[in-house]
Amino acid sequence: MHAFTDALVITKRQLLQLARVPEVLIFSTIQPVMFVLLFRYVFGGSIETGQPGGYVQLLMPGIFVQTTAFTLAATASGLAEDMQKGLIDRFRSLPIARSALVFGRTLGDGLLNILVLAVMGLAGYLVGWRPTSGILKISLAFLFLLAFGYALSWVGIFAGLAARDARVVQNVSFLVTFPMTFLSNAFAPTTGMPKPLQYVAEWNPVSTMVAACRQLFGVENKFGATAGSFPSENPLTMSLIYMVIILVIFVPLSVRKYTNKVTK
Amino acid sequence: MKSIVAQDLLKTYNKGSIRALDRLSLDVEEGTVLGVLGPNGAGKTTTVRILATLLTPDSGSATVAGIDVIKHPDKVREVIGLSGQYAAVDETLTGWDNLVMFGRLYHLGKAASIKRAEELLERFSLTESARRPIKTYSGGMRRRLDLAASLIVKPKVLFLDEPTTGLDPRGRLEMWGVIEELVKDGVTLLLTTQYLDEADQLADDIAVIDHGKVIARGTSDQLKREVGGERLEVVVEQAHVAQTMAIVAKISGTKASFDEGLRKISAPVTTGAGALIEVLRALDGAGIHPLDVALKRPSLDDVFMALTGHVAEVEEVPTDSKKKRKGGNR
């Protein structure tokens, strides 16, 4: 079976694209770095955290999760664009495993995330972010983030296949992921939200991810919602459950949709 | 031996309300070129997509190189090449990148992929632009690269879906040259086109399709004959019209017709160039100097008109593919 090596060829294609058009890489890292700086200096001063090391310790896990959540839009629009250009037809007429293209793309977007997270981590460090939990837990946190981004990129695959236009799918993906990342404990305490929204925020996968990362980076999750609920007590477990749910639903669904895709 | 056989292909959209293919059947003899000719929306692309395993028909069957496209699509993909209506290559990558990538996807090794890519770039005169991203290519270069990508492993059957749509005249001529070269190598080619002259130029055999059905099949000459043979056309001064009509009628053996606006007298003839000589002699003998004399063979446009009752709708670039290309650029 060539399924795996075929997928790697597709992944390599994405990396080559970055090498040929480095602007894409530059801009996809500038945006999160800009968020780090904006939140750190615009909100950081006015949000009282009582956190040793300041707001940035709570902020960084939030921004990491937000950025990985945006993988969804990147994957979706990349795939939709390939379809629009007829490239998917070419791939589908080749004697390759049908899953290779989608697996290859999720892998490529995952690799891009490594780079983006590294640049953000560095930017965070420069503005005072100091995780205290030791190298093992810090690495684990990043692995967790990559896994989250990977799971979401399968949602992106599905969205990209369902979409008819690359620009539309990019906008729609942001319309979903943007409020999702703000309706959470990522940037501010959820306790200030209206009660119903607090529940949403509490069970929001973004919140559980952020809480899990804070835990792994050695920061108390001060923006968490009601103590005693399952997601706030077990953010790591809950995040893992979410990822598994997403993958179990969207991997088969996307592969099937891709295989059956009837592009007119 | 038949390389492509399609039988009663039916494909509907919107729960049967739109019939893209209405029990279409066709076959292509090994090593020959079939031109599938039809206007936009006739079902050309749907036919190609089914034969190239990208679409499953609602009913009907098809084999390519003897392999059932519905039962064994994977095996079909190993022996076909497909080049689409608009260049389906990665535009951000260079020509070289693209061909090497496709080589890898055909499971040639790394070295073999590079070797093949370089051969194809050379063959399609793209060596100089090999290291440039595709988006800097001209339309003709893009098509040539797209075609090269479909030839990585020498396919037994090649599908070209409107290979010259949207190209400028020079690009079309270059593409024709490239396709003619390919055909010499003995590949079986199914080519769709909405350009009548293209089918005339490249195809051994032509299938005219309209509304999802083959409405005529034959060589270009056969189709033209079906519509009627050659016509003799003479234009003279008004004063000589009556006399000339008599001369033309005598040579033709039937009554000549007269187009008042163009002052053109015409009649069907069967003797070809001989009729031309005869009419010139007769006119000269009568002291008439014709303004124009021509022996007109029916064009495929005439064929299309006669078969479908409507003119082939030729657009330079179909609006949907234009949109696709524009939409693709970030």
Q: Which residue type occupies A173?
A: S
Q: With an 8 Å Cβ cutoff, are B89 and A90 in contact?
A: yes
Chain A environment of B85 (Cβ under 8 Å): 86
Which of A7-16, A217-226, B18-27, B268-277 has the least mean pLDDT?
Answer: A217-226
User: How many beta-carbon contacts under 8 Å exist across A and B?
Assistant: 83
Distance in angstroms (rounded) separating the CA atoms of residues B10 and B78:
25
pLDDT on residue B168: 87
Q: Which of A95, A167, A263 sits opposite B78 (nearest CB)?
A: A95
Q: Among residues A195, A207, A53, which one has the least CA distance to residue A124?
A: A53
- Which among A77, A92, A93 is the top mutation candidate for probing chain B, defined by the most B β-carbons within 10 Å of its own β-carbon? A93
Distance in angstroms (rounded) separating the CA atoms of residues B90 and B183:
26
Q: Which of residues 204-243 of B touch A (CB under 8 A)?
A: none
* Three-state secondary structure call for residue A257: helix
pLDDT one-digit tens code per residue, B180-195: 988 888 899 999 998 8
Q: With an 8 Å Cβ cutoff, are A89 and B88 in contact?
A: yes
Distance in angstroms (rounded) separating the CA atoms of residues A42 and A38:
5
Q: What fold is seen in the domain B2-224?
A: Rossmann fold (3.40.50)
Q: With an 8 Å Cβ cutoff, are A165 and B327 in contact?
A: yes
DSSP state string for A72-83 = HHHHHHHHHHHH
How buried is A100 (Cβ within 10 angstroms: 0-12 exposed, 13-18 middle, 19+ buried)?
buried
Q: In what order do the strands lie in the sheet with B231-235?
A: B257-259, B264-268, B231-235, B292-296
Range list for CATH 3.40.50.300 in chain B: 2-224
| Residue that the structure tokens 């560095």 belong to | A122
Quick one: CATH architecture of B230-296? Answer: 2-Layer Sandwich (3.30)
Q: With an 8 Å Cβ cutoff, are A94 and B93 in contact?
A: no
CB neighbours (10 Å) of residue A164?
11
DSSP A157: H
Q: Which residue of B has its CA nearest to A21?
A: B92
Backbone torsions φ then ψ of A263, nearest 5 degrees: -90, 125
Q: Which of residues 255-314 of B touch A (CB under 8 A)?
A: none
Q: Which of residues 89-108 of B touch A (CB under 8 A)?
A: 89-94, 97, 101-102, 104-107
pLDDT on residue B313: 53
Of A51-55, A100-104, B250-254, the range with the highest mean pLDDT is A100-104
DSSP B70: T
Cα Rg, chain B, nearest whole Å: 24
In Å, how far is B215's CA from the nearest CA of chain A?
A: 23
Q: With an 8 Å Cβ cutoff, are A166 and B328 in contact?
A: yes
Of A83-87, A116-120, B291-295, the range with the highest mean pLDDT is A116-120
Range list for CATH 3.30.70.100 in chain B: 230-296
Q: With an 8 Å Cβ cutoff, are B105 and A6 in contact?
A: yes
Say if B327 is an interface residue toward chain A (CB within 8 Å): yes
Predicted TM-score (pTM) of this structure: 0.80
* Three-state secondary structure call for residue B16: coil
- Which among A1, A17, A94, A167 is the top mutation candidate for probing chain B, defined by the most B β-carbons within 10 Å of its own β-carbon? A94
In Å, how far is B82's CA from the nearest CA of chain A?
A: 7
Chain B environment of A20 (Cβ under 8 Å): 92-94, 97, 133
Chain A: residues touching B (Cβ < 8 Å): 2, 5-6, 9, 12-13, 16-17, 20-21, 81, 84-87, 89-96, 165-167, 262-264
Q: What is the number of residues in chain A?
A: 264
Q: With an 8 Å Cβ cutoff, are B88 and A2 in contact?
A: no
ipTM of the complex: 0.85
- Which among A5, A90, A261, A264 is the top mutation candidate for probing chain B, defined by the most B β-carbons within 10 Å of its own β-carbon? A90
Q: Which of B54, B107, B330 sits opposite A93 (nearest CB)?
A: B54
DSSP B94: B
DSSP state string for B189-234 = EEEEES-HHHHHHH-SEEEEEETTEEEEEE-HHHHHHHH---EEEE
Q: With an 8 Å Cβ cutoff, are A89 and B82 in contact?
A: yes
pLDDT on residue A86: 83
Give the residues of chain B that fall short of pLDDT 70.
86-87, 227-228, 310-330
pLDDT on residue A263: 44
Q: With an 8 Å Cβ cutoff, are B53 and A93 in contact?
A: yes
Residue A9's pLDDT band (cuts 50, 70, 90): very high
Chain A environment of B84 (Cβ under 8 Å): 86, 89-90
Q: Which of B54, B55, B88 sits opposite A85 (nearest CB)?
A: B88
First-to-last CA distance in chain A? Answer: 30
Of A30-39, A146-155, A177-186, B259-268, the range with the highest mean pLDDT is A146-155
Q: With an 8 Å Cβ cutoff, are B101 and A90 in contact?
A: no
